[in-house]
C-alpha cells in the first residue's frame, strides 16, 4: 500500500463519506486488469468478443442516458467567477461542495471502492504528474489501466509526501442490501463533473462514461493540468505529437491542435505517401510541454492509450488505429456481429445479417435514424499496439518540439498552409482558430465556430489568461520556441470538389513544415502569414492541377476582410482581460489587408 499520510487520510475520509462495502487498492497488474474485465462480464455490463476476431477484448453497452461528455454539467469551481472566464460553467466551490456532499454520502453502498494510483506520463518523468482516482466502477479501473500507468510503481514514485491530484468518482447508484444491480449503473438525473483549480481536486458523480469518469483524461490532463501549467510555467495542450524522419535521417517532432472533425487522430497515425519519409506517433490527443536546461520545449504524451471515436475509423482513414484496436481493447456502444466481432458505421465491411446494435437489439440495416453504433461509440486500446508508435514515445525526458500546427475545417479562404510571422502572431492564429459550419448546421456557408487552440471545452481557467500564458511562454523561450503553422486540409473549389486529397498526402505539407524549421522551404509574405510558394509543396507523383494548387495557396483578401468583425466579436466576450497584444495583432492584420 503506502505510507503517504495525506493520501491515506483522504482515502479514509472518502470511504467514511461514501460507505463502500469493500476497499481495493489497485496494483496495476495484468491479473487485476483481467479481473475487472471478468467482473464486468459477470455483472452483465460487458461481453467477451471472439478470441479469434478480437483477442482479450470486451464489448460494453452503456445506459442510453449516459453516452458522452456532458459539457452543461461540467463546472470549474474557482473561488472567483472571473477566474473561470466566459467559456466555462462556473460554480462557487462552497456551493458545489454543498451539492456534492449529500450526493456522495453513502453513494458506494453495496459496491467496491477502488483506489487507483496513476501517473500521467512515464512513471518518474520530470514532465509527468501523479493522480489518485477513487471510483466504484470496474469499467473505470480497466480503462485507466489502458489510458494511464496504474499501480504500485506509481505509489513508489509518490513516496511518503509527494504531490498528487485527488480524483473522486462515483456512478451515483448505491445498492440496498440484496438489491440486484443493473448492467450499467449511473444517475442520469444528477451528473456533475467538477474541478476545483485552487485545491487541484476533481469530483465526478452520476456518469460512468468516458471523460466524465476516466478522470485522468480531459479532467486532469487538460482542465486541472492547464491551471498547474499556468502556475508553474509549462503547457498542457489538446495536441497530438508526431515524430517525422526525413529520407536523410533528420528528425523533427510536431505538436498539433485541431477542433473535432478535423482529422486529428488520422494525422497522429499518418501513413506518408512521400518516398523515404517516416511518420510515427508519440501521442494522439494531449501534449504536456516543459522547458529543459537547453531552453527548448520538450513534450510527453501523458496518456498510455487511445480513447478514440469508433464510427468513421477504418483502414482507409486510419489503418494504424485499426491495427491498434485489434486486441486487448475495450469497445463501448458499438455493434456486434454474429461471429463475435465489432461493427460501426463506415467500417471497412458491409453490415452483416443479424447484427446487434448498441442497444443490444437486432439492427435494421441502414437505418438512417437509429445507428448500429452510437455516434460517440469508443474504443480503448493500448498505445503500444499502434504499428507506428515511436520508439521514444515513453522517453521520460520528452521530445523536443520543433513546430506547432493549428488547423480547422474551412472550405474557403484559409490556405492549405501558412507560417506565422512570430510567436505572438502564432498565438493570435491559435486564439482565432475556427472551423466552418455547414450550411445545414449554420444556416449559411461561411459562419465560423471558434475553438481557440482546440481548448474551448478543456481550459480550466479564463481563456483570456490562457492566451496571456501563451504569450508569457513565448517571452520566456524567445527564439527557441517552436515555429507555429496553420493548416487546412478541407478547401473546396467552386464546383464543390476537394482541392487537396488529404490523408497520407498531408505528409507533403509536413515536409514543408520541417524545411521551414531549418530555415529552408520557399515562402511568400502575405497579409495573413508566410505562405509556401506554388512550387514549395512537393507534389511529385501527385495528380493535382496547377489551378487547384494555386487556389489552395491563394489569399482572398476580400473574404479575410469580412472575417475581421467576426474576430472582433469573438474577442469581445473576453472583455478587459484579453491581452492587448492580441488586439494589436488583429489591428495589424486589418491594416495589412487594406
Which phi and psi (to 5°) does residue 337 adopt? Answer: -85, 160
Asked whether the beta carbons of 198 and 80 are under 8 A apart, the reply is no
Sheet strands (E) in 328-438? 330-332, 335-336, 342-343, 378-382, 399-400, 403-407, 417-419, 434-436
Is residue 514 part of the annotated active site? The answer reads no
> Taking the chain, what is the end-to-end CA distance rounded to the nearest angstrom?
67
Distance CA 298, CA 455 (A): 20
Three-class SS state of 436: strand
Contact 136, 171 (CB under 8 A): yes
For cell 491515506, name the residue: 8
SS3 assignment, position 541: coil
d(CA 133, CA 214): 9
CB 292 within 8 A of CB 397: yes
DSSP string over 275-290: TT-EEEEEESS-EEEE
Q: Which residue has the cell 475509423?
A: 313
Q: Which of 262, 386, 459, 517 is catalytic?
A: 262
**Residues 292, 233 contacting (CB under 8 angstroms):** no
d(CA 58, CA 40): 9
Residue 576 has what DSSP assignment? G
C-alpha cell at 511: 515536409
Match 497515425 to its residue by C-alpha cell.
269
Q: How many CB atoms lie within 10 A of CB 38?
A: 14
- What is the rounded (10 degree) CA torsion for 162, 165, 171, 172? 100
Residues designated catalytic: 262
Amino acid at each position: 500500500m503506502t505510507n503517504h499520510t495525506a493520501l491515506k487520510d483522504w482515502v479514509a475520509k472518502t470511504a467514511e463519506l461514501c460507505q463502500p462495502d469493500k476497499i481495493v487498492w489497485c496494483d496495476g497488474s495484468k491479473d487485476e486488469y483481467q479481473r475487472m474485465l471478468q467482473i464486468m462480464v459477470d455483472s452483465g455490463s460487458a461481453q467477451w468478443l471472439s478470441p479469434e476476431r478480437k483477442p482479450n477484448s470486451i464489448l460494453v453497452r452503456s445506459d442510453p442516458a449516459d453516452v458522452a461528455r456532458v459539457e452543461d454539467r461540467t463546472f470549474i469551481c474557482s473561488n472567483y467567477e472571473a477566474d473561470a472566464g466566459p467559456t466555462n460553467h462556473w460554480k462557487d466551490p462552497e456551493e458545489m461542495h454543498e451539492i456534492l456532499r449529500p450526493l456522495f454520502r453513502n453513494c458506494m453502498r453495496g459496491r467496491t471502492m477502488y483506489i487507483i494510483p496513476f501517473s500521467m506520463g512515464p512513471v518518474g518523468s520530470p514532465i509527468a504528474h501523479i493522480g489518485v482516482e477513487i471510483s466504484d466502477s470496474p469499467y473505470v479501473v480497466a480503462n485507466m489501466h489502458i489510458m494511464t500507468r496504474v499501480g504500485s510503481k506509481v505509489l513508489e514514485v509518490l513516496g511518503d509526501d509527494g504531490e498528487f491530484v485527488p480524483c473522486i468518482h462515483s456512478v451515483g447508484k448505491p445498492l440496498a442490501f440484496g438489491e440486484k444491480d443493473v448492467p450499467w449503473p449511473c444517475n442520469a438525473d444528477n451528473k456533475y463533473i467538477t474541478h476545483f483549480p485552487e485545491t487541484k481536486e476533481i469530483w465526478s458523480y452520476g456518469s460512468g462514461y468516458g471523460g466524465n469518469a476516466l478522470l485522468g483524461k480531459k479532467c486532469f490532463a487538460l482542465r486541472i493540468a492547464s491551471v498547474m501549467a499556468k502556475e508553474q510555467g509549462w503547457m498542457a495542450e489538446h495536441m497530438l505529437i508526431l515524430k517525422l524522419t526525413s529520407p536523410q535521417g533528420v528528425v523533427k517532432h510536431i505538436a498539433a491542435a485541431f477542433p473535432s472533425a478535423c482529422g486529428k487522430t488520422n494525422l497522429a497515425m499518418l501513413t506518408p505517401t512521400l518516398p523515404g519519409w517516416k511518420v510515427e506517433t508519440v501521442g494522439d490527443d494531449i501534449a504536456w510541454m516543459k522547458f529543459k536546461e537547453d531552453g527548448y520545449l520538450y513534450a510527453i504524451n501523458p496518456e498510455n492509450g487511445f480513447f478514440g471515436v469508433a464510427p468513421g475509423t477504418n483502414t482507409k482513414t486510419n489503418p494504424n488505429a485499426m491495427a491498434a484496436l485489434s486486441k486487448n481493447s475495450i469497445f463501448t456502444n458499438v455493434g456486434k456481429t454474429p461471429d463475435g466481432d465489432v461493427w460501426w458505421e463506415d467500417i471497412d465491411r458491409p453490415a452483416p445479417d443479424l447484427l446487434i446494435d448498441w442497444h443490444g437489439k437486432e439492427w435494421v440495416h441502414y437505418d438512417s435514424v437509429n445507428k448500429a453504433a452510437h455516434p460517440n461509440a469508443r474504443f480503448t486500446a493500448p498505445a503500444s499496439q499502434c504499428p507506428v508508435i515511436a520508439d521514444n514515445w515513453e522517453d521520460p525526458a520528452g521530445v523536443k518540439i520543433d513546430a506547432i500546427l493549428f488547423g480547422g475545417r474551412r472550405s474557403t479562404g484559409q490556405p492549405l498552409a501558412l507560417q506565422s510571422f512570430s510567436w505572438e502572431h502564432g498565438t493570435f492564429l491559435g486564439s482565432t482558430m475556427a472551423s466552418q459550419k455547414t450550411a445545414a448546421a449554420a444556416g449559411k456557408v461561411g459562419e465560423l465556430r471558434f475553438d481557440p487552440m482546440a481548448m474551448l471545452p478543456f481550459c480550466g481557467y479564463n481563456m483570456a489568461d490562457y492566451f496571456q500564458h501563451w504569450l508569457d511562454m513565448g517571452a520566456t523561450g524567445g527564439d527557441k520556441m517552436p515555429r507555429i503553422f496553420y493548416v487546412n486540409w478541407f478547401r473546396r473549389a467552386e464546383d464543390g470538389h476537394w482541392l487537396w486529397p488529404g490523408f497520407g498526402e498531408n505528409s507533403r505539407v509536413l515536409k514543408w513544415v520541417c524545411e521551414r524549421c531549418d530555415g529552408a522551404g520557399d515562402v511568400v509574405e502575405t497579409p495573413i502569414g508566410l505562405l509556401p510558394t506554388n512550387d514549395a509543396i512537393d507534389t511529385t507523383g501527385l495528380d493535382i492541377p496547377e489551378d487547384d494548387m494555386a487556389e489552395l495557396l491563394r489569399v482572398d483578401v476580400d473574404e479575410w476582410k469580412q472575417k475581421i468583425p467576426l474576430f472582433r466579436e469573438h474577442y469581445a466576450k473576453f472583455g478587459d482581460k484579453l491581452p492587448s497584444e492580441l488586439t494589436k495583432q488583429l489591428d495589424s492584420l486589418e491594416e495589412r489587408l487594406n
